[in-house]
Amino acid sequence: MAPKAFTKKTPAERAAAAKALRERLEEFDRELSPEQEGEILARFMGYSDRNAKLIAMQAAGLGITATDVAGFRAWKDRGRKVDKRPECVPEGEWGLKILAPRGTKENGKGKGTANAVPAGTGPARLAEGQAGTGNDGDHMFFGTTTVFDIAQTVPLDSDGEVSPARAALEAGGVAFAGGDDGDDTAIGG
């Protein structure tokens, strides 16, 4: 079987996906009680408030309660692999999208260094996903990156084992709530 060809999204498609993700997060945030918000933020202390809420929101859409999330390579380093996407989940919606720094744009002129953190931009400001201004006038931009919960993984040496999240979705125990696949889209403050 030939590998599936990757189709790159247009800037307009990425912008629309980013807008939809922002709107879903705003709605999710409005519906959270202070207790729920506190529980989510406590569970993901290593992540910004926004990323913690993005993880919780999207995991709920997959019918899981995220507890331990990491990127594709990080799971491999930890001796696990991300399970294949269940057929009932649309392509691009198996992972959980979070914000990550994507580089800078100097003085609004479009010049930039990919993945660079400008001087004078503190980690707290970056962690919150705010477009910061460094000492040299650079602006930090954020895009989405994908992480997966441990429930979406299986041991590297597993042969045909299915992750708990995939098994539940395929058994029909959870209706997929949908999402969006933002991919590398600047989401901004």
Q: Is the pLDDT of residue 156 over 90?
A: no
| Overall average pLDDT of the 165-182 stretch | 59
Asked if the structure places residue 179 within a domain, the reply is no
15-66 residue pLDDT tens: 788 788 889 999 999 999 999 999 999 999 889 999 999 999 999 988 889 9
What is the DSSP pairing of strand 138-149 with strand 69-70?
antiparallel
Q: Angle at CA 78, nearest 5°, toward 169 and 159? A: 55
Asked if the structure places residue 30 within a domain, the reply is yes
Instruction: Please count the structural domains in the chain.
Output: 1
Q: Is the pTM of this model over 0.85?
A: no
Please tell me the distance from the alpha carbon of residue 58 to that of residue 121, in angstroms, as a whole number: 29
Asked if the structure places residue 45 within a domain, the reply is yes
The range of the structural domain enclosing residue 146 comes to 11-170
Average pLDDT value over all residues in the chain = 75
Asked if the structure places residue 183 within a domain, the reply is no
Asked if the structure places residue 158 within a domain, the reply is yes
| Nearest partner of 142 among 96, 95, 188, 97, judged by Cα | 188
Q: Kindly state the tokens that stand for 181.
A: 């696949």
Asked if the structure places residue 16 within a domain, the reply is yes
| Overall average pLDDT of the 86-95 stretch | 79
Residue percentage of the chain with pLDDT more than 70: 69
CB < 8 Å & 24+ apart, contacts of 157-165: 158/81, 162/83, 163/83, 164/64, 165/62, 165/63, 165/64, 165/83
105-145 residue pLDDT tens: 654 444 444 434 443 433 434 444 444 444 455 677 777 88
Q: Is the pLDDT of residue 185 over 50?
A: no
Asked if the structure places residue 108 within a domain, the reply is yes
Asked if the structure places residue 6 within a domain, the reply is no
Q: What is the pLDDT of residue 4?
A: 61
89 Cα distance to chain centroid: 16
